[in-house]
Amino acid sequence: MTTRTAEAGPDPQIEGRDDLLSVFAGGEKPKDRWRIGTEHEKFVYALNDHHAPSYEEKGGIHALLIGLTKFGWEPIYEGDNIIALSGPDGNVSLEPAGQFELSGAPLDNLHQTCAETGRHLAQVKEIGDKLGMGFLGLGFWPDKARADLPIMPKGRYEIMLRHMPRVGSLGLDMMLRTCTIQTNLDYASEADMVKKFRVSLALQPLATALFANSPFTNGQPNGFLSYRSHIWTDTDPARTGMLPFVFEDGFGYERYADYMLDVPMYFVFRDGRYIDAAGQSFRDFLDGRLPAMPEEKPRLADWTDHLSTAFPEVRLKSFLEMRGADGGPWNRICALPAFWVGLLYDDQALDAAWDEVKHWTIDDHHRIREQVPRLGLATQGPRGRDFRTLGGQILDIAHAGLAARRRFNGAGDDETGFLDPLREIVAHGKVPAQVLLDRFHGDWGGEIRHVYEEMSF
């Protein structure tokens, strides 16, 4: 999640609707400036007993952050606590229960993305080995209850932890027990954003299926292939879901701004601290009637903060965020941006992908989104195609899109090889969660502890 620091630089008061829309319009870039941002989270555990380390314990999360500064990372503080790091490879931040996240820098190509990921994982493993820590690549804690998990000292999380039980039964699980991989991509214009939003929102359940990697809860199979994805269906309906209005005529910046104005607030950040505004209205804030801050109107940073508190399957800020994938091992961290870059960054590929989904109805989108956490590639798409068949066709489109980009590494390889893990999944017809379930019921003998041996970085 977004990490705020003490205010720095110009932060003008919002004077009208144009200021709200300027955040979206300000993201427009010509194609030669499109970049790739990749975020990935992993669970941190103690090697000796697999417990999730607290922030303050000896050899805990604070020590991990301090250890990483040897590689040139600069600490970011909230009060007296280091809660993130900043460096040339982006930002390292903490999710609510200590899940460790790299929000990578905006990069030109997937070779750079994979190199960045490799540097980060080598660094955390070096420090983790010294501290007795390991790092697990899954979408959901396989053996930890909520009560087993620590809470990181970040003000926005205190507010969210209080608010989540008011609006859904699984929001605390989302915060404390999940990990994801995300990709952030650019657009050239409002029309380009709309087309990319529609394609990526329609196909987000396919990404969920391909990356499904969360079949265990409290040490046992939970009946899902992506329990992480299921959790979002009962987290907070006001800020999650498939956003059917994206497929309606006239969708654009204005309509997304209206949606965000209807999403209840969490907080306002002032003077280095978070003020609880949970459930209050940004529309009231614009009118100077916010109960948490009477007679004060929002600044532009308040709006950008608010944009980070909605959690639909695809999210618009000054770029588009792909949010459907479970956390996973190293090669799938590189595969997710490859999937989306191949589809969205080449005009012919984007057109071809749109041709595959443009006839889908709103009912189709909702049914698919509901079924895919359980069924994975067995989900039935429109016209009788299962997601395994659709996945092969979409991967062919992504492959062509990546080949057309002609981004080569020093060995002369283009970016298409990063799709290989996904092609293997489609070829075998088993998503990662099904492979884990086979192992659990087979040579693991029903002992979840083996997941640490096989799914750690």
Report how far apart the first and last C-alpha atoms of the chain are (Å, whole number).
22
Asked whether the predicted pLDDT for residue 383 surpasses 90, the reply is no
Residue with tokens 């110009």, as numbered in its chain: 10
State the Cα–Cα distance between residues 27 and 230, nearest whole angstrom.
Answer: 31
Contact 456, 135 (CB under 8 A): yes
Q: How many CA atoms lie less than 13 Å away from 287 in the CB half-sphere?
A: 9
Asked whether the predicted pLDDT for residue 5 surpasses 60, the reply is no
Contact 280, 265 (CB under 8 A): yes
pLDDT tens per residue across span 154-171: 999 999 999 999 999 999
Question: Residue 339: enclosing H or E segment and its boundaries?
Answer: helix 330-344
DSSP alpha helices (H): ranges in 211-344? 227-231, 253-262, 282-286, 300-307, 330-344
Q: What share of the chain is helix, strand, coil (3-state, %, to 5)?
A: 50, 20, 35
Among 8-12, 341-345, 361-365, 371-375, name the one with the lowest average pLDDT: 8-12
Q: What b/e readout covers 357-369, taking b as 16+ CB neighbours within 10 angstroms?
A: beebeeebbebbb
- Would you state the pLDDT for residue 394? 98
- The structure tokens listed for 67 are 């250890």
- Would you state the pLDDT for residue 411? 98
- Would you state the pLDDT for residue 10? 78
Residue with tokens 């669970």, as numbered in its chain: 43
State the Cα–Cα distance between residues 291 and 280, nearest whole angstrom.
Answer: 8
State the Cα–Cα distance between residues 421 and 300, nearest whole angstrom.
Answer: 41
How many CB atoms within 10 Å of residue 355? 11
φ, ψ for residue 32, nearest 5 deg: -70, -5
Mean pLDDT confidence for 166-190: 98
Residue 314 CA, chain-centre distance (Å), reads 9
Asked whether the predicted pLDDT for residue 338 surpasses 70, the reply is yes
Contact 233, 172 (CB under 8 A): no
Asked whether the predicted pLDDT for residue 8 surpasses 80, the reply is no
Residue 168: what residue type?
A: G
The number of helix segments (H) and strand segments (E) in the chain equals 17, 15
| pLDDT confidence band for 289 (50 / 70 / 90) | very high
Mean pLDDT confidence for 246-269: 98
- The structure tokens listed for 228 are 């992480």
Angle at alpha carbon of residue 211, lines to 330 and 403, rounded to 5°: 75
Contact 395, 356 (CB under 8 A): no
Query: Dihedral (C-alpha) 382, 232, 243, 340: value to the nearest 10 degrees?
Result: -70
DSSP alpha helices (H): ranges in 69-179? 110-131, 155-167, 171-177
Smallest CA-to-CA distance from 316 within 157, 186, 178 is with 186
Contact 94, 83 (CB under 8 A): yes
Q: Is 449 helix (H, G, I), strand (E, B) or coil?
A: coil
- Would you state the pLDDT for residue 384? 87
- Would you state the pLDDT for residue 9? 64
Asked whether the predicted pLDDT for residue 211 surpasses 90, the reply is yes
Contacts of 79 (CB under 8 A, 6+ apart): 153, 272, 273
Residue 128 CA, chain-centre distance (Å), reads 23
Residue 401: what residue type?
A: G
Domains in the chain: boundaries: 17-263+310-455
pLDDT tens per residue across span 397-433: 999 999 999 999 999 999 999 999 999 999 999 999 9
Strands 320-326 and 314-316, how do they pair?
Answer: antiparallel
Contact 325, 254 (CB under 8 A): no
Question: Residue 422: enclosing H or E segment and its boundaries?
Answer: helix 420-428
State the Cα–Cα distance between residues 223 and 371, nearest whole angstrom.
Answer: 12
Architecture of domain 17-263+310-455: 2-Layer Sandwich (3.30)
Contact 189, 93 (CB under 8 A): no
Question: Residue 350: enclosing H or E segment and its boundaries?
Answer: helix 347-357
